[in-house]
Each structure stands twice: as C-alpha cells, then as structure tokens.
C-alpha cells in the first residue's frame, strides 16, 4: 500500500507542473490583454479628445462668424487661419468664404 | 298925395303895432295858442296824411283808452319847411283828453284843452327843427282819452247806442315851421280824418289753472260784457291760441252763442267756457273776441299757461316805475307731475331791456326743500332799476331741481321807466268789498321829473266817496301829507323820491259786472296856482304833469282767510287757506268756481294752485311756510276770473339747524307687508346752523291698528347748512299685518350742533307717501309661432298677473316695441285695450296680432301699468321680453341636372339632380320621382338615390342620383320635378329642371403610324421620325402619349430630341403628331417601332394604339460639319476691334478636308470693317474633331449701332462637298461713348442680403470729337436701395433724382454738361444696398449726351445675392473637420460636415 503510494507521488508532480504551466500561460495572456486594453483605451480617449477639440474649433469659428464684429468682412477679404488651445492641445482653424452653390 | 300917403301909413303903423301888442299880451297868457284853421290852399304843394293804428279803439263804458295816430309829412322838398305844430281835435261830447297824455320823443305837449263848449284838443309842438316832421318823416302820437263828463256819462265813454260806433277826429290842424308865428297861417287837414271803433262789447279771457302737465285740461273762460244800451243776442266768440300744436280743443264753447241784456242790467255779463287738452310741453296763450251783427269787442289775451311736469311763470310789478324805484320779480314754480320735487332753486335772472338792474335781494327763499305733486311755490326778488325815461325792463330765468331737470325759460311781462309813476294797492277789489271801516287804497307815487311836487290833486271816479287821506315821503318820517277836498298837500315830493298816499273811502260802487275806473292825479309844483278837475288846461305855469291810475271793481269778490294767521317760518309748518267766492253785488256764494292760488311776500308752498269751489263757494289749500331766519309776512292771493282776494300771514323767523326732507327722494315708495324694507331719502339743512345727525335719527309710520314701522339711520352724518345729504335707514321688517294704504312717514332727526353730548331732535314730515300693500304686476310676453314665413300672422300675448296685495285698476299694456333684425307690422291689438280690475293673485291676458314683414329674428318688449286700487299710485310691471320669433323667407326650390357631357355606348352613367332651397324656411319630404327622357338612346337603370330627402334647410342643397345605361349613339336629355313642403306654412313647393343634351358615342380607338425622313442620310446628319396618332372612335381620347421608340435595323442613330408635342386630347376622327430627332451615327439600315396610349374621355378607360413601325432609312458613312459664330466683346466704342470666331465640328464618321469658312455677312456693314482673317484660311477635320476660324474687325469712327456676323463652312467628304448650316453671331453694339459698369461686392460678385455693393460707371468717349455729357443714369434692380455717391470725376449732383421706377439720374452739377474729349473717360461710383431676396441681379446704366436721347446698357455688373457660406476647417493632429455653413440672418446652418480621416 505504501509502495503504491510512493509511486503515485511523481505523477502528481507532473500533473502539478502541467497545471502550473497552463496557469502561467493564462496569466501571461491575461496580463497581455490587460496591457493592450490599457493602450487601446488611452488611444481611444485621445482620439475622442481630438474629436471634441476639433468640433470645438468649428463651434468657435461659427461663434466668430455670427458674433464677432468685422470677422465676416475679414474672412470675405481672404481665408483667416488661427489656432486655439483646446483641451491642452493646439487646434488649427481656417475659415474661408466660399461662393454659394448655384 | 304924398302927405295923404304919409298920414295913411303913419296911422296904419300905429294900428298894426296895437294889434301886435295885443297879440303879444295874449301870448304872454299862453305859452302857445291853439292853431286856427286856414284854407288848406295856403299849403301850396305841401301834403301830409294821418291814420289811426289798428289797435286804436275804445270800449263803451270804459273810463280811459289809448288812441294812436300816425302823421306823415308827404310833401316835396320845396314845401314850407317841416311840420312843427300838430293839433288833434276830438268830439267833446264823447271824449276828454287826459292830462297824462305824453308826447313822442322830441316833441312836447303845449296844450291840453277840455274846456267844454265842444272843444277838446291836444296841441303838440316840436322841440326843435331837427325833431319837426320833415318831408318823408312820420311820427306816432298816442293820445290818452277819457270818457266825457258831460251828460250822464260820468267820465265814461258813451254807450247810448245799440251798435258799435265809429268815432272820428273832429279836426286836424298843422303848421309849417317856415310860416311866421302868430300869423294865423295854420291849415286844416282837408282829407278824410281817421276813424276808430267804440266797441259795444268787452271781453276778458281767463285761462285756468295757471300751469298744467301734458294731458291735463285747461279751462279757458271768456267773460263777455255788453256795454251797449240795448240787449244783444246771438253773440258768438272767436278764440285762438299760440303757438299751435300745444293744445287741442276738447269741449266748448259753452254756450255756443249768448244773449246779453243791456249794460248795467243783470245778465249783461256772461261766461263762455272751453276746455283744452295740453298736448306738448311749452307755454300757450289764448286770444278771444266776441261779436254779433251789431256790436263787437276788442281782442283780449289770457295769461300764458306753461305746460309740463315742472314749469315756471314770471311776473314783474309794477309795470311803470321811475328810475331808482324797486320792482318785485316773482317766479312761480309748479309741480304738475306725480312725484315730489326737490330741492328747488332758481337760476340767476337775466334782465331784458335798456334799464340797469341792481339786485336788492337774493331770491327769497333761496331753496325749497320739497314741492309735492300739484303744489306751487314762489321765489321773489327785489331789483332797483335805473335808466332813462321810456327804457324797458323784463326778466327771464329758470328753476331747477337736484337731478338737473329744469323748467323752460320763464319770461316776465315788460315794464317801462317813466318820469312819474303811480299805482294803487290793491289794484282791484270785488264788488261788495266792505267799506266799514273805511276801505283804504294806497297810492304809490314816484317822481323823477326834475321838479319838486308840492300838491297832488286827485280826481275821483263817480261814486267813490273819500273819507280822508294821509301820506308820507318814503324815508322822511318828518313830513306828513294831508288830504282835503281832493288835494294832498303838506310835503314836498322832491324829484327822485317816492311817496305813499293812502285814501280811505266810505263807499265805492258795487257794479254787477267788472268795471274799470281811473283815478286822475295832477302833479303840481305850486300849491296855489295848480288847478284841478277835468277842465284843467295844460300847460299851467305850475302844473307839471298828470298820471292816471287804473282801478277795477270786479263782479266777483273773494274773501280769503287763514288758520292760523301766524306760524313758524320753518319750512314745514302749515296754515289752511280758505277762499270764498261771492257774487259781489248780491253776496251770493259761487259754486264750481275755478280758483287759482298764488302767494307774494316771503314765500311758501301751496298744496295746490287751483281748484273748484264747493257748493258754498269755498275752496281750501294748505300753505307750508318757507324757511326764514327773520320774521316776515306772506300774502296769499286767490283769483277767480278777474277778481282776486288775499290774506296776509305772519311768519316767525327760525334759528338753528333745520333738516328737511327733499321732495321726491323717498325710495322705495311702496312695499309689501312681511318684507324687509330699507328706506332712503335726501335731506337738506335750510337752517342757520349745521348739525351732525346720529344713528338715532329715525323714520317711521303707523297704521290705524297701531302697527308701526320704524327704522334707524344706518350711520350718522354731518349736515352743513344749505347742504343735501342722502340718508339710508336700516332694513327693518314691515309687519305682515300692517294695514295696506298710503302713509306719510315722519322723520325724527337726532343730532348735535356743537357739543356731541347735547343732542337735539327735529321732527319733520315726509310729504311723499309710502304705500303699503299695493298692487304689483308681473308681465310675460309670448309670441307664436316660433318660426314662420313673411306674410304669416304672429300672435303676441301678454299675461299680466297681480302679485301684489291690493286690486289693480285700469290695467293697460304699454306700447310694444319690436326688437331684432326682422320686422312685423301690427294688425290688431291689444285686445282688450284695458282691463278694469285685476284682483290679487289673478291673471289677465292681452293679445296682439302682427303680420311678419321682414326676415330675421324678432322679439317684443313691453310692460303693464295699472293703478293701485287703494292708494291710486301707478304700478307697473317690469319690462317683459317675448321669446324670439324667427321670420324667414318661404322655402323656394330650384333644381339643376348634372349629366356627363358624353358617354360611350354600353356605359352606365349617373344623372344628378341638384336641388337648392333659395328661401330661409326649410323644405321637408323632398321627392324627385321618375325622369322623362327625350330620346331612347339610354335606358333607366336605378334611382333616384335617395328616394326622398326628409329636410332641406334654407340656403342648402341636396342631390338625387339616377343611373342609366347607354344603348345606342345619339343625343339624350332628361326632365324631372322635385316636390317638397315648406315646414313653416306647409305649402307645397316644387322645382322642375331639364338637363343639357348628352352625347352617346362609340368609344375612343387609337391607331398610330411612324414615318422617318429622309430615307437616306449620311452619318452625323439628323433624321426626323414622326408618329401620326389617329382616334378612329367617337369619344375623345385624352392624354394621348407615344411610348418610347425602339430602334431597329443594323445601322445606328442616337436620339437628339423628342418627342415634341405634349400629351393631347384627340377628338373622334382626329389626329395628332409627335416628332423625334435622331442623329445617324453608324452606317446601315434603321427603322423605329413604337406605340401610344390614351384615355377614353367618356369612361376613363385606357386606350392603346397597336404597335407601328416606320419605314427604313439607309445610313451611310459621311462627314458632317456644324458651325457657330461668336463675336467679342459685345460692346465696343468707335475705332475698337472685335474678334469674330467660327467654331466648326465634324460630327460625321468620315474626315472632312479643305474646310474653309464662307465670307462673313455683316448685318450693319457700315459699322465694322475687316482687319484680318479668317485665320487659318483652311483646315481638315477628322471625325469628331473641331477647329476655329478667327476674324478681326474694327468699328467705324463715327458710327454707332449693332451688328451681327453670319456665315458657314464648306469642306470635302472624299470628294463630295459638305457644308455646315449658316449661323449668326451674337450682336455687338458700338457706342459713341462706351459705357461700362463694374461691381465691387463684399465677396467677389456675391453679397449677402442687405449688404452694400459699390457700382462704378465708366464712360469712355470713343468718338473723335468732344462728347457733352448731360446726365448719368442707373436702374437699380428691384429691391435694391440707393446708398450714396462715392466718387465722381465730373462733378455731378450728389444726390440723384428719382424718376421712373428705379431710375436714378445724376445731372451735371454745373447745370451745363460734362465735356469729354476724345478718348477721355468719366466715372461715377455709388453704393447700394442689395435686395433681401437671394437671386442674381444685373444692372442697367445709361447716359445722355447733349441734345441726344438716353443711351442705356443692360446686363451689367451682375451680383449674386445669397446668404454667405463659409468653409471651416478645424484641424488637430491628423484629425480634420471640414464644415460648410450658411449664415442666414445671423443664424448658422450646417450644410455639410466631414471628418477626416
């Protein structure tokens, strides 16, 4: 009974090593996933921020066209470009008067 | 001879001198002498006339009269000067001349002679030549005549005849101024002397009562006296009145004719009575006279009778005073209405006349608190008048009450200022007036004649026996006149003073008829020389003037008494006045005598101002004292016909507050037992002190059973003097067992004057009754039927119910008024007109029948009126309004068929009958029945639907529909009748209609054919394909449209255009065509196949044309040239060049070689000359290639106008000639002064609505000479607004004038011209605001040279007006947003939004 028990002890080790190997693989995969997700999240967040900033740039130009005295005349004389600091980033804005479609 | 002659003349002169001395002595005895008659021939061509005025007449038995003569100098200018002396001689057996006769202005009386012996005359003398009667002038001489004292006439005009007598002057003598005085050169009037009547009848007209309301009666009594010595029969009267329209005669005269005994005998005086009904407000006066064949009377006038609910009369006395004397003005105010009035006050009086009036007193009283119905009160003023002799005076004024109601303007009689005046008080007494104790007559005498009077000589009428006399000078108690044998002496009446002389009589006449007397007073300045008696001559050296004082003894006598004679002047204390009318001569009571009351002195209120005596000749009225703070007197007058009597009351002045009820303010005036009742009224304090009323003030009334209604003032109030306050009492239950009747409440005023702890009470009557348990009416109005037609009858019923306690009497409906836009005319009603009694709780009905006359809604409005049977007060229902009746125009039907214009054989179709009700009333149960058909081409299928229309309102329509089947071709119509019933009057109404003719046709059928031409073409050329579509049926084929063509064969052609021709309607048998244009593109055989569709115009089915195929055409390979010409620029100046280009394309499949343009043809060859071209001279074109030929032309230097160029090109297709079609270029205009216009817009040629643009007009003189520019013009596009001129090279006006629409014109400022040398330019810039509507706008500019028409050029400087658009690029890193926006009125609109990447 005892010999048998003795012999079974090596099998257990193999099994434990296999399990540990699988666990290492899983943990590694998990850690990779987490890392990638964090990178993706950061990128998406930056993209959204850019989008919001660009949108705000358009809104700013609209505000100037409808409220800032003399701006439309200035634009009528030629395209007007300027930059704004939005969300910590620089947004380049160009306003051009165009000929209405017939 | 000489000696004898001298001796003769010496003695002659002595004799003449003696005569002159004698005449002078005589002249010293008389200031003037009577004129002596001389032959009238001495007057030469002098002429004059005399006439008696129409009112000159006297009456037998009278003691005095006025005769007036008008003397006119009718001489020519060369007469013997103006007439300065006139003597009128009278028959002394009839007349004596009164010393009171006065002369006209500018003349004097030199002598009045009544010496008997047949002489009675008056001699007038002119005061100066100016006042003398010059040729063409007239003077009026009024002579006061008296009855003769000769015979038995006793100073009366003789009556010893049986008829009127025509009297005449005995003689008229005149003298001309240019005649020497005292030369006996007067002349006697040789013409007919004037005459006048001495009437045998005397008439007096008496109207009673003195004032009435509209609807009341006026009794007009004529007292007719026979003054002749003979009995007179068949005397009839004439009675007129003015103004007309105010009254109407309702009875009389009674009797129609009268007979009178001879004068002085009983029966010589009789009364004729008339009754008039007052119709309208105003004042009426009556005029009467009497006559038979023998005798007649003068016309007499009654007093004015004011008509109305609230009226006033005015009187001023005396009518003759001297300057500085006082007159008394009385305004009598009458309440002829049904309710009390108050408080009454008067307006300031207006003086009419030349005198000056100084008010010596305020009106007394100032106000009257209450004037009950039927009562009268009097206001009295005293005025001191000044002015010149003969100036007149009269007064006008009104009375008013609190609500603003006022009387008509009352006017007094007119008085006149004299030098001397005298009047007697009383002015008349009744026959039988006691003379024991002696009867006193008081003569008031005034003197402003400028001479002191020391003796007054009285000439008494016969049978007046004076027992003594005494007098005084007003304001001088130290002097006393004494009377002895007809003379008053002892004082001196200084000019400007008045005297009161009292004569007492132990007996006076007692005539059986009214008798007039005259006291003659001679006024003397010397006590010794002044003569007396009727034979006095005038002038006497100390005899200054005379006056006659009229006095009347009337047939009737009125004795007036008062109980008590003394009462408080507190505004509510009363005294009963009793008047007894007696036949004076026999002391017999006169029953049924209409007595009129009035008052003088300190005034009060009389409970009534007229009434009829009882069987004892007695009538009573109640006098209510006025309010007066001092003791005073009031004289109550009673009048019957011409007689009057009076009594004087003593009024004790009152002090302190005097709150009084204001008449007519009690509200409500009736109430029902068992109901709560709150009374209100006005009070006025006419006392001398204010009072503050407390809530302890009460109003109460008690019935005979001891039931009392009493209410306290709801709240206290102050009541200053002469102030009115409205008082409201608490609501208190009127006991349910209170005895119905009319009660006069009592007011117990409680209040304090200065100390609130010391209360005073004042009991005052409310002289308006409060009615308890009166009848009460409720009325309802019902009109039927509710709906009806014009012309139909309407019944209106008023149901009247007595909801009150008492029985109502004399129930009458008021006049119904009609409301609404409709109309109805009264046919009959009300039925009954009146109901005598309506006991409590019962109902009666009144019915009217009307006929409807106008369409629209109508209502009736009215009320019922009645008299309360117990109190007699008027009760009326509230106004009732009936239900609304709708009057309509009767139903009237019209009908019209609606059928298809045409149907196809075999088609089932509807027939519609439209029925309209043109009236207002509805028509019901409309049926249409079976239709009649004119021909047999159709057969009945079904209908009508609906079978019947149950209701058709006015103005509405309904339809009936039948269906028929078309059997065979032809023309058919239908006739039908619709029948209904008018819902209002059940009348049968119908309408018949016939339809238009309807065609029955064969259905439409389409057939198409296709044709292509030409049958052989080269590639590039055009082929025309034509489809002919024919309708072989009868019905119209509508919307016939070809289907697309399909191309067949081995060649090809491309569609260029088509089909042309809109979808069309093709009538039966008709055709239409459609065309396509194809361009052959590949060699081979080509044909086209197509079809067409349409719609049957009758049944709407689709009609298809069978497919059809065209003929074949053959397409061969070839070259094909197409050319076009363009010239630029389109506007040039003189000596300018124009480039003309011809563009050529080879659209064929073969190459074209050696292509050359044709020579260009100019439409205006003088305008341009060829400079160069064409270039190139020739070219080749492969299939589909193109080329351009160019020419250069130059405009002439002295021409203007427009030119075009025309030409084509020719080439070779493998040896076969081919050419393009000829085309024409655009026009090019040559200007002497070339005009151009440029635009400066906010953004290129674009501007937003409302933005500014700048236009610049440039003018270049391209001619070789000088151009004199007068004006520059510009036509702004519609919607553009001119701004301002910016630049101007030639000094045009700053502001253009605005001519025809949109045309701006600048004129050279120098009023000359802007001179442009050859080649020079002028510019003018201005701004304008663009239109608000987006669009493209072009401009027209122009100019005018001196002596030349306006030159304009259009389509210049075009600007696009559009809302501005922007592109916004927003970029961050690699992210870009591109947005396109449009700003409209400041609001952005996103047009596009793009995100990159």
B685-704: pLDDT as tens digits: 988 899 999 999 999 999 98
Q: Which residues of B touch A86 (CB under 8 A)?
A: 1372
CA distance B227 to B238: 18
Q: Which residues of B touch A89 (CB under 8 A)?
A: 1372-1373
Q: How many other CB atoms are found less than 10 A from the CB of residue B405?
A: 13
Q: Which of B86-95, B142-151, B241-250 has the lowest mean pLDDT?
A: B142-151
Q: Which residue of chain B has the CA closest to A85?
A: B1372
Cβ contact, residue pair B1366, A47, below 8 Å:
no
Residue B4 has pLDDT above 50, yes or no: no
Pairwise pLDDT comparison (B1095 vs B21), residue with the higher score: B1095
**Integer CA distances (angstroms), B845 to B426, B804, B815, B826, B867, in order:** 61, 17, 15, 17, 17
**Integer CA distances (angstroms), B851 to B653, B785, B787, B970, in order:** 68, 12, 13, 55
Of B1130, B1125, B1193, B1126, residue with least CA distance to B1158: B1125
Residue B833 has pLDDT above 70, yes or no: yes
Residue B1295 has pLDDT above 80, yes or no: no
pLDDT confidence tier of residue B1241, bands split at 50, 70 and 90: confident
CA distance B343 to B627: 13
Q: Which residue of chain B has the CA closest to A49?
A: B1372
What integer is the mean pLDDT of B231-258?
Answer: 92
CA distance B1290 to B117: 123
Residue B537 has pLDDT above 70, yes or no: no
B662-689: pLDDT as tens digits: 888 898 888 888 889 999 999 999 888 9
The percentage of chain B sitting over the pLDDT mark of 70, rounded to a whole number, equals 93
Q: Where are the beta strands (DSSP E) in A13-88?
A: 80-86
Q: Is B1194 helix (H, G, I), strand (E, B) or coil?
A: strand
B647-661: pLDDT as tens digits: 999 999 888 898 999
DSSP state of A52: H
B1113-1150: pLDDT as tens digits: 999 888 889 899 999 998 999 989 999 999 999 988 88
Helix residue ranges per DSSP H, B282-329? none
What integer is the mean pLDDT of B1182-1195?
Answer: 93
Question: In the beta sheet, which residues pair with residue B910?
Answer: B963
Cβ contact, residue pair A99, B1368, below 8 Å:
no
Question: In the beta sheet, which residues pair with residue B367?
Answer: B345
Question: In the beta sheet, which residues pair with residue B1272?
Answer: B1306, B1343
**B positions 1344-1363 inside 8 Å of A (CB):** 1360, 1362-1363
Of B1043, B969, B1038, residue with least CA distance to B1010: B1043
pLDDT at position B6, please?
40
pLDDT confidence tier of residue B913, bands split at 50, 70 and 90: very high
Mutate to test the interface with B, among A100, A101, A102 (most CBs of B within 10 A): A100
What integer is the mean pLDDT of B1147-1154?
Answer: 88
B302-352: pLDDT as tens digits: 988 999 999 999 999 888 888 888 899 989 899 988 778 888 889 889 999
Pairwise pLDDT comparison (A31 vs B925), residue with the higher score: B925
Residue B536 has pLDDT above 50, yes or no: no
CA distance A32 to chain B (A): 28
Residue B1397 has pLDDT above 70, yes or no: yes
**Triad B6, B8, B9: Cα angle to 5°:** 65
Q: Which residues of B touch A92 (CB under 8 A)?
A: 1369-1372
B269 contact partners, CB below 8 Å, separation of at least 6: B223, B224, B225, B226, B260, B512, B513, B514, B555
Q: Are B278 and B215 in contact (CB under 8 A)?
A: yes
Of B84, B113, B101, residue with least CA distance to B171: B113
CA distance B980 to B913: 14
pLDDT at position B36, please?
42
Q: Is A53 helix (H, G, I), strand (E, B) or coil?
A: helix
CA distance B1350 to B1270: 10
Q: Which residues of A touch B1360 (CB under 8 A)?
A: 99-100
Q: Which of A47-61, B854-868, B964-978 has the lowest mean pLDDT?
A: A47-61
What integer is the mean pLDDT of B69-76?
Answer: 85
Instruction: Scan for tokens 């255009």, then name that residue.
Output: B1057
pLDDT at position B78, please?
59
CA distance B1177 to B74: 130
Q: Which residues of A touch B1388 (CB under 8 A)?
A: 62, 65-66
Of B813, B828, B820, residue with least CA distance to B777: B813
Cβ contact, residue pair B1242, A91, below 8 Å:
no
DSSP state of B184: S
Q: How many other CB atoms are found less than 10 A from the CB of residue A41?
A: 10
Residue B1312 structure tokens: 């000359």
Burial of B817 (0-12, 13-18, 19+ CB in 10 A): exposed
Cβ contact, residue pair A95, B1388, below 8 Å:
no
3-state SS of B408-423 is CCEECCCEEECCEEEE
Cβ contact, residue pair B1370, A57, below 8 Å:
yes
Mean pLDDT of chain B: 86
Residue B75 has pLDDT above 80, yes or no: no
The percentage of chain B sitting over the pLDDT mark of 90, rounded to a whole number, equals 45
B431-468: pLDDT as tens digits: 988 888 899 999 988 887 777 888 888 888 888 999 98
Q: Are B945 and B934 in contact (CB under 8 A)?
A: no
pLDDT confidence tier of residue B720, bands split at 50, 70 and 90: very high
Q: Which of B105-119, B193-207, B434-448 has the lowest mean pLDDT?
A: B105-119
Helix residue ranges per DSSP H, B339-466? none
Cβ contact, residue pair A58, B1377, below 8 Å:
yes
pLDDT at position B38, please?
40
B14-63: pLDDT as tens digits: 444 444 434 333 333 333 444 444 434 334 456 788 999 988 999 998 88
- What pTM value is reported for the model? 0.51
pLDDT at position B77, please?
64
Of B448, B423, B426, B493, residue with least CA distance to B355: B448
Q: Are B735 and B709 in contact (CB under 8 A)?
A: yes
Strands B880-881 vs B856-862: parallel, antiparallel or unpaired:
antiparallel
CA distance A41 to chain B (A): 18
CA distance B1359 to chain A (A): 12
CA distance B103 to B1375: 132
Q: Which residues of A touch B1377 (CB under 8 A)?
A: 54-55, 57-58
B763 contact partners, CB below 8 Å, separation of at least 6: B746, B747, B748, B749
Of A84, A79, A78, residue with least CA distance to A58: A84
pLDDT confidence tier of residue B544, bands split at 50, 70 and 90: low
Q: Is A98 helix (H, G, I), strand (E, B) or coil?
A: strand
**Integer CA distances (angstroms), B918 to B402, B786, B925, in order:** 59, 21, 16
CA distance B72 to B87: 14
What distance lies between CA B66 and its chain's CA centroid? 49
pLDDT at position B25, please?
37
CA distance A61 to B1390: 12
Residue B576 structure tokens: 């009963």
Q: Which residue of chain B has the CA closest to A81?
A: B1369
Q: Are B604 and B636 in contact (CB under 8 A)?
A: no
Question: In the beta sheet, which residues pair with residue B1322?
Answer: B1259
Q: Which residues of A touch B1372 (CB under 8 A)?
A: 50, 53-54, 57, 86, 89-92
| Cβ-nearest to B1366 among A53, A90, A97 | A97
Q: Which residues of A touch B1242 (CB under 8 A)?
A: 73, 76
Instruction: Scan for tokens 């103004």, then name that residue.
Output: B243
């Amino acid at each position: 009974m005892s010999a048998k028990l003795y012999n079974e002890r090596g099998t257990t080790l193999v099994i434990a090593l296999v399990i540990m190997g699988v666990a290492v693989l899983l943990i590694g995969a998990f850690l990779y996933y987490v890392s990638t997700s964090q990178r993706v999240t950061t990128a998406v967040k930056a993209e959204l921020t850019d989008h919001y900033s660009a949108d705000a740039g358009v809104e700013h130009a609209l505000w100037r066209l409808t409220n800032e005295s003399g701006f439309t005349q200035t634009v009528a004389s030629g395209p007007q470009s300027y930059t704004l600091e939005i969300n910590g980033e620089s947004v380049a804005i160009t306003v051009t008067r165009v000929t209405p479609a017939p | 001879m000489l000696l004898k002659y001298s001796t003769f003349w010496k003695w002659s002169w002595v004799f003449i001198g003696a005569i002159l001395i004698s005449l002078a002595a005589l002249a010293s005895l008389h200031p003037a002498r009577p004129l002596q008659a001389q032959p009238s021939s001495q007057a030469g061509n002098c002429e004059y006339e005399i006439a008696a005025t129409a009112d000159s007449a006297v009456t037998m038995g009278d003691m005095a009269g006025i005769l007036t003569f008008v003397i006119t100098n009718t001489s020519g200018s060369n007469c013997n000067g103006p007439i300065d002396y006139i003597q009128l001689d009278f028959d002394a057996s009839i007349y004596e001349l009164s010393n009171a006769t006065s002369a006209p202005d500018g003349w004097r009386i030199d002598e009045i002679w009544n010496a008997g012996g047949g002489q009675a005359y008056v001699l007038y003398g002119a005061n100066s030549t100016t006042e003398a009667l010059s040729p063409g002038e007239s003077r009026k001489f009024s002579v006061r005549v008296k009855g003769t004292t000769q015979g038995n006439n006793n100073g009366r005009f003789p009556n010893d005849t049986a008829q009127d007598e025509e009297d005449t002057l005995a003689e008229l003598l005149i003298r001309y101024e240019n005649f020497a005085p005292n030369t006996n050169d007067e002349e006697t009037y040789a013409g007919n002397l004037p005459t006048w009547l001495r009437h045998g009848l005397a008439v007096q007209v008496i109207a009673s009562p003195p004032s009435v309301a509209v609807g009341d009666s006026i009794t007009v009594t004529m007292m007719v006296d026979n003054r002749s010595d003979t009995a007179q029969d068949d005397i009839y009267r004439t009675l007129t009145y003015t103004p007309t329209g105010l009254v109407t005669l309702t009875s009389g005269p009674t009797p129609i004719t009268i007979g009178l005994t001879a004068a002085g005998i009983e029966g010589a005086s009789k009364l004729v009575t008339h009754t008039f009904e007052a119709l309208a407000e105003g004042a009426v006066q009556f005029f009467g006279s009497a006559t038979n064949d023998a005798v007649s009377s003068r016309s007499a006038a009654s007093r004015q009778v004011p008509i109305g609910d609230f009226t006033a009369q005015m009187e001023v006395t005396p009518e003759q005073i001297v300057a500085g004397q006082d007159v008394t003005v009385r305004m009598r105010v009458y309440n002829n209405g049904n309710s009390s009035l108050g408080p009454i006050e008067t307006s300031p009086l207006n003086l009419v006349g030349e005198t000056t009036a100084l008010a010596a007193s305020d009106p007394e009283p100032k106000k009257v608190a209450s004037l009950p119905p039927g009562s009268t009160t009097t206001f009295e003023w005293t005025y001191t008048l000044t002015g010149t002799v003969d100036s007149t005076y009269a007064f006008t004024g009104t009375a008013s009450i609190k609500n603003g109601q006022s009387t008509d303007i009352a006017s007094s009689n007119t008085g006149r200022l004299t030098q001397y005046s005298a009047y007697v008080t009383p002015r008349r007494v009744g026959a039988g007036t006691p003379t024991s104790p002696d009867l006193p007559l008081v003569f008031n005498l005034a003197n402003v004649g400028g001479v002191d009077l020391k003796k007054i000589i009285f000439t008494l009428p016969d049978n007046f026996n004076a027992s003594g006399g005494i007098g005084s000078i007003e304001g001088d108690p130290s002097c006393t006149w004494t009377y002895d044998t007809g003379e008053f002496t002892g004082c001196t009446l200084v000019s400007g003073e008045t005297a009161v002389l009292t004569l007492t009589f132990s007996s006076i006449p007692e005539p059986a008829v009214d008798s007039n007397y005259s006291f003659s007073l001679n006024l003397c300045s010397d006590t010794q020389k002044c003569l007396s008696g009727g034979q006095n001559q005038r002038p006497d050296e100390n005899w200054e003037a005379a006056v006659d004082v009229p006095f009347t003894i009337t047939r009737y006598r009125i004795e007036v008494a008062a109980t008590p004679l003394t009462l408080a002047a507190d505004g509510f204390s009363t005294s009963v006045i009793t008047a007894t009318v007696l036949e004076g001569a026999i002391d017999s009571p006169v029953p049924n005598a209409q007595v009129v009351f009035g008052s003088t002195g300190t005034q009060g209120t009389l409970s009534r101002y007229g009434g009829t005596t009882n069987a004892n000749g007695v009538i009573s009225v109640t006098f209510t004292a006025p309010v007066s703070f001092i003791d005073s007197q009031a004289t109550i007058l009673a009048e019957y016909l011409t007689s009057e009597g009076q009594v004087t009351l003593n009024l004790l002045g009152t002090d302190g507050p005097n709150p009084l009820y204001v008449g007519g303010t009690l509200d409500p005036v009736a109430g029902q037992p068992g109901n709560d009742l709150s009374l209100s009224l006005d009070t006025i304090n006419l006392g001398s002190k204010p009072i503050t009323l407390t809530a302890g003030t009460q109003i109460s009334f008690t019935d005979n059973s001891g039931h009392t209604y009493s209410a306290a003032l709801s709240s206290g109030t102050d009541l200053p003097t002469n102030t009115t306050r409205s008082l409201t009492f608490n609501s208190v239950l009127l006991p349910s067992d209170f005895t119905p009747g009319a009660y006069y409440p009592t007011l117990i005023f409680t209040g304090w004057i200065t100390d609130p702890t010391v209360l005073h009470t004042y009991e005052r009557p409310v002289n308006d009754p409060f009615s308890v348990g009166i009848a009460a009416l409720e009325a309802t109005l019902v009109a039927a039927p509710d709906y009806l037609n014009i012309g139909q009858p309407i019944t209106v019923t008023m149901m009247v119910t007595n909801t009150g306690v008492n029985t109502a009497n004399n129930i009458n409906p008021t006049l119904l008024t009609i409301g609404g836009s409709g109309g109805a005319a009264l046919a009959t009603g009300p039925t009954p007109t009146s109901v005598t009694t309506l006991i409590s709780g019962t109902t009666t009905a009144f019915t009217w029948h009307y006929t409807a006359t106008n369409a629209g809604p109508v209502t009736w409005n009215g009320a019922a009126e009645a008299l309360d049977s117990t109190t007699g007060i008027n009760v009326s229902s509230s106004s009732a309004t009936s239900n609304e009746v709708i009057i309509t125009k009767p139903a009237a039907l019209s009908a019209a068929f609606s059928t298809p214009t045409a149907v196809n054989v075999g088609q089932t179709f509807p027939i519609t009958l439209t029925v309209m009700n043109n009236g207002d009333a509805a028509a019901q149960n409309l049926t249409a029945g079976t239709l009649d058909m004119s021909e047999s081409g159709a057969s009945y299928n079904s209908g009508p639907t609906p079978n019947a229309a149950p209701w058709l309102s006015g103005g509405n329509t309904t339809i009936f529909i039948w269906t028929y089947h078309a059997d065979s071709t032809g023309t058919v119509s239908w006739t039908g009748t619709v029948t209904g019933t008018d819902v209002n009057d059940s009348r049968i109404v119908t309408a018949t209609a016939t339809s238009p003719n309807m065609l029955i046709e064969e259905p439409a059928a389409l057939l198409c054919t296709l044709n292509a031409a030409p049958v052989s073409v080269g590639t590039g050329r055009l082929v025309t394909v034509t489809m002919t579509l024919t309708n072989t049926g009868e019905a119209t084929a509508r919307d016939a449209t070809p289907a697309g063509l399909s191309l067949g064969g081995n060649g090809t052609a491309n569609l260029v255009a088509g089909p042309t021709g809109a979808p069309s309607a093709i009538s039966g048998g008709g055709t239409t065509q459609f065309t396509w244009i194809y361009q052959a593109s590949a060699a081979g055989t080509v044909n086209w196949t197509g079809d067409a569709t349409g719609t049957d115009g009758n049944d709407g089915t689709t009609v298809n044309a069978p497919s059809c195929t065209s003929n074949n055409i053959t397409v061969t390979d070839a070259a094909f040239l197409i050319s076009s010409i363009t010239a630029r620029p389109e506007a040039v100046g003189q000596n300018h060049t124009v480039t003309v280009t011809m563009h050529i394309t080879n659209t064929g499949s073969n190459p074209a070689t050696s292509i050359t343009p044709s020579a260009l043809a100019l439409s205006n060859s003088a305008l341009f000359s060829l400079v160069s071209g064409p270039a190139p001279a020739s070219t080749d074109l492969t299939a589909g290639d193109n080329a351009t030929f160019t020419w250069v032309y130059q405009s002439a230097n002295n021409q203007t106008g427009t030119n075009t160029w025309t030409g084509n090109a020719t080439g070779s297709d493998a040896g076969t000639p081919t050419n393009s079609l000829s085309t024409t270029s655009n026009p090019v205009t040559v200007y002497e002064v070339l005009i151009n216009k440029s635009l400066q817009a906010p953004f290129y040629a674009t501007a937003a609505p409302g933005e500014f643009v700048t236009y610049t007009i440039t003018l270049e003189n391209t001619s070789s000479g000088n151009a004199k520019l007068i004006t520059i013009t510009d036509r702004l596009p519609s919607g553009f607004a001119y701004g301002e001129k910016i630049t101007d090279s030639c000094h045009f006006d700053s502001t253009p004038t605005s001519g025809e629409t949109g045309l701006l014109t600048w004129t050279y400022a120098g009023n000359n011209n802007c001179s442009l040398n050859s080649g020079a330019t002028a510019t003018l810039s201005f701004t304008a605001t663009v239109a608000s509507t987006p669009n493209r706008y072009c401009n027209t500019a122009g100019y005018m040279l001196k002596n030349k028409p306006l030159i304009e050029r259009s389509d210049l400087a075009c600007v696009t007006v559009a809302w501005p658009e922007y592109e916004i690029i927003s970029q961050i890193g690699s992210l870009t947003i591109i947005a396109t926006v449009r700003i409209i009125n400041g609001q952005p609109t996103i047009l596009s939004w793009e995100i990159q990447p």
